[in-house]
Amino acid sequence: MAGKNYSKVNLTSSNLSEEKLAELRRVLPEAFSENKIDWERLRAVLGDAVDDRIEKFSFTWAGKSNAVKNVLIPSSATLRPAKDESVKFDVSENLFIEGDNLEVLKLLKKTYFESVKMIYIDPPYNTGGDFVYHDNFAAPLKNYLQQTGQVDAEGNKLQTNRETSGRYHSDWLSMMYPRLKLAWDLLRNDGVIFISIDDNEAHRLMMLLDEVFGEESFVAVFPWKKRTAKSDVPFGVSQEYEWIICYAKPNFVGGLFFERKYYKTPDYPNDRWRLSDLTTQKLEADRPNSVFDLVNPKTGKIYPYNPKRLWGITKDTFKDYYDKGKIVFPDDYDFLNITIPAYRVFESEDKAKALKKYGSEEAMKAITTGLPKEVGMSEDGNNDIFELFGKKIFSYPKPVSLIKHLVKFSTRDGDLILDFFAGSGTTAQAVLTLNKEEDENRKFVLVQLPEVIETKSEAYKSGYKTITDIAKERIRRVIKGYGDEPQPIDDGFKVFKLAESNYPENLFDFDPEKSEEENRKAFGEYLSKTTQMKLFDDTKAIDVVYETIIKEGLSLNSKIIEREIGKNTAYFVADGERQLLVCLNKKIDEKTINELTGKDYKGKTFICLDNALDDTAKANLGLHVELKTI
């Protein structure tokens, strides 16, 4: 009876395979037989949509099937808060997460699904050096701990991806595929992604993005000039440019698409009239056919002729323009939420459609793929670091001006920006400084592997052991203010670190050499020896609370308050309207149970240790609250 009234907490991140099957079952239930997909039924349902051609266009590489599977493997890891390394942990909504980005993205998926407006990444270029993100599909977390020296005292130097390797390009693509797939899930339906890359993998990256995002999602390639000095390269051609490849979700609203023609008059502060220095009399004499009152055929509303400005059409051309969709009136669409002129003449039907699609004239600002002069080169990125630290402690950082430019035209106040190859933290500095300049509140999430720094480097001699040490200190200094005239920023950031789960079920290593039955038996024996009671004696309660938050899909910015319920201590977790009550006491007192069954807690989610309640208490409590146990 108790089993009907309560459930176990989620032990892992989202199980994408189960989610996709559930969605397919919802849409096409007839394609399933005995709880499995029946391929013949599926083919019959899809009909002509199935491509039976033997020869067809495809993009593949050695290891692609494992890369696809890797997206579907849920993460059992957790993220542990590091308050002592943070700034204003309790109030800031910015996040810096130290860990392997594939595991972290899986953990973030449930909470931040379709929540990110912009992603910028500067992934490792495939130059034949140390291959920083070499995934182990069988044991991802153990592999991460070994790579970062947290398990193996030797440190296990990261694998080198030499050009002599038979999987030189394949390994890089297998590394990028699952991360981009998860990036797609995190992007809002109006989101955009920018990826910095050099010539080594640029064309293969675009083919990969075509597969993950779809060819129709391609926006542009922005050439970024990284140097002026000549470089020694094959064939005597100096490579002075790198590329920023941009793809977007279908409803992206940013500053990418259309030219802004912004003229102001006293009568219409935001109008788009044709400007002229000629006198009113001269204008009317030269273009008498443009002197008329405009009538919206749909509503009958009259827009009087303004003698100080000319319409961009004539009486004769109005109907043709309107019929072709080149004219849009402000009362044609109820979703327009800004002041626009009496009418707008577009140069093509595409722009009229764009107004319908993007929802406002504000969305129709234009930039070109040519980056503005204020966007710096690699040397400027070095100067950004030197200005903060007084020495060069990081190689080849992107300039703040570059990232700030991308953030500025693709996001707005309150948007979330993600960088999961964060490096030295340039994206965080760009967001913080842009917010200060524009008095806005964009938020960032940065993810970076704590790569060990070479002991001979200037950074190591300065006390920084990992790249994440540099990035965190950089963000602190930006917030504090720096230079001759420091400009402090009233903001902060939370630090979290990827770690092994606090749940004992997640710490068991399944042996691939043994049968499923043998592993199940060994798992049962393991659990009998490792109880929740013993585990939590050695675990910080707040770490367990945050793992619960992550696995249940609440925000890492949830508000957490410790308070008493009956005779027990509980953590009240609030993420907007979603709430959890987490109690980690070894025994839930009867007085506490009585209080939880009252009307104040009706329907709320209560989480506790499985052994803290007997079956009767679980059955009773489960009738009043959504009971979950660890």
Beta carbons of 543 and 502 less than 8 angstroms apart: yes
Q: Are strands 416-419 and 344-345 parallel, antiparallel or unpaired?
A: unpaired
Q: Burial code of 400-431, b = ≥16 C-beta within 10 A, e = fewer?
A: bbbbbbbbbebbeeebbbbbbbbbbbbbbbbb
Q: Residue 605 is inside which H or E element, if any?
A: strand 605-608
Banded pLDDT at 17 (limits 50, 70, 90): low
User: Distance between the two ends of the chain, CA-based, in angstroms?
Assistant: 18
Mean pLDDT of 248-273: 45
Q: Which residues pair with 243 in a beta bridge?
A: 197, 223
Q: Which residues pair with 339 in a beta bridge?
A: none
Identity (one letter) of the amino acid at 610?
A: D
- Asked which of 145-154, 202-211, 399-408 is least confident by mean pLDDT, the reply is 145-154
Higher pLDDT, 527 or 125: 125
pLDDT of residue 165 exceeding 70, the answer is no
Written as six digits, the tokens of 374 are 């204020």
pLDDT of residue 309: 62
Which residues make Cβ contacts (< 8 Å) with residue 40, sequence separation at least 6? none
Beta carbons of 303 and 313 less than 8 angstroms apart: no
The torsion region of residue 483 among left (phi > 0), alpha (psi -120 to 50) and beta comes to: left
pLDDT of residue 324 exceeding 80, the answer is no
Place of tokens 């920083």: 132
pLDDT of residue 218 exceeding 70, the answer is yes
Contacts of range 41-50, beta carbons closer than 8 Å, 24 or more positions apart: none
DSSP state, residue 91: T
pLDDT of residue 415 exceeding 90, the answer is yes
pLDDT digits (tens, 9 = 90+) for 552-609: 999 999 999 999 999 999 999 999 989 999 999 999 999 999 999 999 999 899 999 9
pLDDT digits (tens, 9 = 90+) for 219-237: 999 999 998 877 666 777 8
Residue 48, SS3 per DSSP? helix
**Other residues' Cβ atoms within 10 Å of the Cβ of residue 511:** 10
pLDDT digits (tens, 9 = 90+) for 278-317: 344 555 666 778 788 888 888 888 877 766 666 767 888 8
pLDDT digits (tens, 9 = 90+) for 193-217: 999 999 989 999 999 999 999 998 9
Q: 0.85 cut: is pTM over it?
A: no
Sign of the alpha-carbon dihedral angle for 332, 338, 341, 344: negative
Number of H helices and number of E strands within the chain?
Answer: 20, 21
Place of tokens 């080149």: 326
Task: Please name which of 193, 119, 82 lies closest in space to residue 493, comparing C-alpha atoms.
Answer: 82
pLDDT of residue 364 exceeding 60, the answer is no
**Other residues' Cβ atoms within 10 Å of the Cβ of residue 18:** 11
pLDDT digits (tens, 9 = 90+) for 507-563: 777 666 777 787 778 777 776 666 554 555 556 899 999 999 999 999 999 999 999
pLDDT of residue 91: 96
Q: What percent of the chain has pLDDT over 70?
A: 74
Mean pLDDT of 248-269: 46
Residue 454, SS3 per DSSP? coil
- Give dist(CA 283, CA 265) in Å, integer: 17
Residue range(s) in the chain whose domain bears CATH number 3.40.50.150? 77-256+368-499
pLDDT of residue 326: 63
DSSP state, residue 105: H
Mean pLDDT of 59-64: 89
- Asked which of 360-364, 501-505, 583-587 is least confident by mean pLDDT, the reply is 360-364
pLDDT of residue 2: 41
Beta carbons of 532 and 609 less than 8 angstroms apart: yes
3-state secondary structure 380-407: HHHHHHHHHHCCCCCCCCCCHHHHHHHH
Rg (CA), the chain: 29
pLDDT digits (tens, 9 = 90+) for 438-480: 999 999 999 999 988 989 999 999 999 999 999 999 999 999 9
Written as six digits, the tokens of 220 are 């542009």
Q: Residue 455 is inside which H or E element, if any?
A: none
In order of 113, 155, 253, 454, 470, the CA distances from 463 in angstroms are 37, 18, 43, 12, 9
- Give dist(CA 243, CA 215) in Å, integer: 18
- Give dist(CA 57, CA 130) in Å, integer: 33
In order of 258, 264, 371, the CA distances from 367 in angstroms are 7, 21, 8
For the ranges 23-37, 74-88, 227-241, the one whose mean pLDDT is highest: 74-88
pLDDT of residue 157: 46
pLDDT of residue 594: 94
Mean pLDDT of 139-163: 56
In order of 31, 68, 185, the CA distances from 24 in angstroms are 9, 18, 17
pLDDT of residue 21: 73
Higher pLDDT, 97 or 44: 97
- Give dist(CA 432, CA 479) in Å, integer: 8
pLDDT of residue 405 exceeding 80, the answer is yes
Banded pLDDT at 425 (limits 50, 70, 90): very high
pLDDT of residue 300: 86
pLDDT of residue 114: 94
pLDDT of residue 35: 75
**Domain 77-256+368-499 adopts which CATH fold?**
Rossmann fold (3.40.50)
Banded pLDDT at 345 (limits 50, 70, 90): very low
For the ranges 235-244, 342-351, 594-603, the one whose mean pLDDT is highest: 594-603
- Give dist(CA 202, CA 359) in Å, integer: 33
- Give dist(CA 8, CA 3) in Å, integer: 10
pLDDT of residue 16: 62
Written as six digits, the tokens of 218 are 């391609």
- Give dist(CA 397, CA 368) in Å, integer: 24
pLDDT of residue 343 exceeding 70, the answer is no
Q: What percent of the chain has pLDDT over 90?
A: 47
Residue 334, SS3 per DSSP? coil
- Give dist(CA 423, CA 470) in Å, integer: 9
The H-assigned helical ranges of 9-164 are 16-27, 39-46, 64-72, 101-112, 140-147
Mean pLDDT of 47-58: 70
Q: Residue 461 is inside which H or E element, if any?
A: helix 458-461
Mean pLDDT of 151-178: 66
